[in-house]
């Protein structure tokens, strides 16, 4: 674990990649990989709590993931409410609020009902937040933001000249959240895959070799160690 508390990222975003390959290597159905990956979520949440990370955003299901085999998609949609129910007590015990971003209204009704229930039940928690990106895409988020802004312009509530970076940010799915400081992607893949395209502009990236079901506390702490050694300049120059 990093020694300097000032070097701990406030907000960590995670692309949880490699569940299917993990299952394939073991001759198991892909859904078994997602089930194993759910255990890594719990391990990372514990590690982030112990390290002092306030916010963790998890890329759980993208707008493109609907293209996957029907049995895998339906399995994922039934796995999510089961995991929410199973681990809700941990959210309460750790004073953690559950949130979700994405085009949530397109999720199956049973999945959405349980998601909304747990979000409401944990809404009063203030110490930490876990954000699930569900039916999420960075381009979709920006498209939805532009639509909201265009509607305000059309109603003459906003002048085009008044549209700034801050205005765009204010129309994203969770405008109150700070941008991620660190983005972790597992499984050795080195791409963003349409994740938080606006918010990750100045984040530090860490690409882990482990498949997501193998990414546990030690691997997460390794990512924090690497982050602690980075020099963040945000377009400026390093001070002496």
Residue 94 annotated in active site: no
Q: CA 225, CA 240: separation in Å to the nearest integer? A: 22
Which of 19, 50, 65, 95 is an active site residue?
Answer: 65
Could you tell me how many helices (H) and strands (E) the chain has, helices first?
7, 6
| Residue showing tokens 């994740």 | 195
Residue 50 annotated in active site: no
Taking alpha carbons only, the member of 59, 45, 108, 114 closest to residue 85 is: 114
Which of 17, 19, 135, 181 is an active site residue?
Answer: 17
Beta strand 96-101 pairing with 204-207 = unpaired
Counting Cβ atoms within 10 Å, is residue 43 exposed (0-12), middle (13-18) or buried (19+)? middle
DSSP designation for 122: T
Q: Map residue 99 onto helix, strand or coil.
A: strand
Q: Map residue 52 onto helix, strand or coil.
A: coil
Active site residues: 17, 65
């Amino acid at each position: 674990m990093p020694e300097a508390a000032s070097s701990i990222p406030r907000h960590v975003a995670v692309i949880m990649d490699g569940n299917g390959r993990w299952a394939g290597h073991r001759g198991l159905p892909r859904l078994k990989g997602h089930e194993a990956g759910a255990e890594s979520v719990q391990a990372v949440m514990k590690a982030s709590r112990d390290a002092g990370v306030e916010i963790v955003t998890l890329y759980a299901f993208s707008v493109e993931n609907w293209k996957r085999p029907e049995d895998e998609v339906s399995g994922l949609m039934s796995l999510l409410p089961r995991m929410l129910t199973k681990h809700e007590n941990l959210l309460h015990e750790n004073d953690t609020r559950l949130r979700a971003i994405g085009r949530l209204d397109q999720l199956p009704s049973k999945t959405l009902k349980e998601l909304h229930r747990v979000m409401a039940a944990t809404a009063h928690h203030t110490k930490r937040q876990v954000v699930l990106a569900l039916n999420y895409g960075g381009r979709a988020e920006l498209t939805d933001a532009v639509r909201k802004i265009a509607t305000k312009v059309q109603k003459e509530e906003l002048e085009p000249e008044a549209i700034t970076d801050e205005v765009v940010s204010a129309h994203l799915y969770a405008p109150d959240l700070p941008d991620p400081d660190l983005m972790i992607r597992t499984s050795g893949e080195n791409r963003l895959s349409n994740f938080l395209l606006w918010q990750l502009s100045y984040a530090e990236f860490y690409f882990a070799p482990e498949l997501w079901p193998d990414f546990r506390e030690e691997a997460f702490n390794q990512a924090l160690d690497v982050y602690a050694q980075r020099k963040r300049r945000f377009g400026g120059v390093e001070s002496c």
